[in-house]
Amino acid sequence: MLLSGGVDSSTCLALAARDFRCHALSVRYGQRNARELSSARRVSEALGAVEHRVLDLPLDWIPGSALLGPEVAVPRSVDGQTPAPAPPDGVPVTYVPARNSIFLALGAAWAEALDTPHLYIGVNRVDYSGYPDCRPAFIEAMERALRLGTRRGDLLIHAPLMELSKAAIIRRGVDLGLDYGLTWSCYDPVDNDRACGLCDSCLHRKRGFAEAGIPDPTRYA
């Protein structure tokens, strides 16, 4: 299970844990919201994962992403409701080049070593922020490629949240007993303890809880 510690991946782990003994993998890749890693640890413990590994794989040598360093600012909403304008190609500057390609390859390697074909990722195409590596076509292509490139040849990439809205995801997690107070979404936290409330990820989260009719446990600045 690829686990970031956010709403989607945590809900995905809750779903997978119904049927499997789960091994959770998080990556410390130089993200400015490293606060999410402690959330991933708490979520994995709360959901009974067999183990949770945090892999150090710095990607902050890659230029151009607002998540990888101070050179590019994280876009923020002016009014706390409307997302900041996206670039002409629709891909925001918070996109990390090929991140899910890298993470899925790492997950596939560990899955094969564990002798399982099952690999879970919490992507969805409804609130995917314009990231090209969250689309169904990408997941399907990666599954084919990783089947060809592994000894087992039968890898199954599970993306059970793909067609769900953020509100539907949150309702599903609540039904499964997930404590969303353990999760973290903000791209650019304040004092590493409070969410900014203005980045795209915070906006998606706030809207999801509001539409679900469930109180958001996040502390916003």
Q: What is the pLDDT along the chain (221 residues), one digit of tens a residue?
A: 999 999 999 999 999 999 999 999 999 999 988 889 999 999 999 999 999 999 999 999 999 999 998 889 999 998 878 878 878 888 889 999 999 999 999 999 999 999 999 999 999 887 666 899 999 999 999 999 999 999 999 999 999 999 999 999 999 999 999 999 999 999 999 887 899 999 999 999 999 999 999 999 999 99
Give the distance from CA 34 to its chain's centroid: 13
pLDDT of the residue at 32: 84
| Domain locations along the chain | 7-212
Say if residues 220 and 202 touch (Cβ distance below 8 Å): yes
Architecture, CATH, for domain 7-212: 3-Layer(aba) Sandwich (3.40)
- Closest by Cα among 27, 39, 15 to 122: 15
Parallel, antiparallel, or unpaired for β 156-158 and 23-28?
unpaired
Give the span between the Cα atoms of 158 and 144, in whole angstroms.
13
Give the span between the Cα atoms of 21 and 98, in whole angstroms.
28
Q: Helix, strand or coil for residue 92?
A: coil
Residue 158 structure tokens: 């599970």
Q: What is the pTM of this model?
A: 0.95
Ordered DSSP codes for 130-170: T-GGGSHHHHHHHHHHHHHTSSS---EEE-TTTT--HHHHH
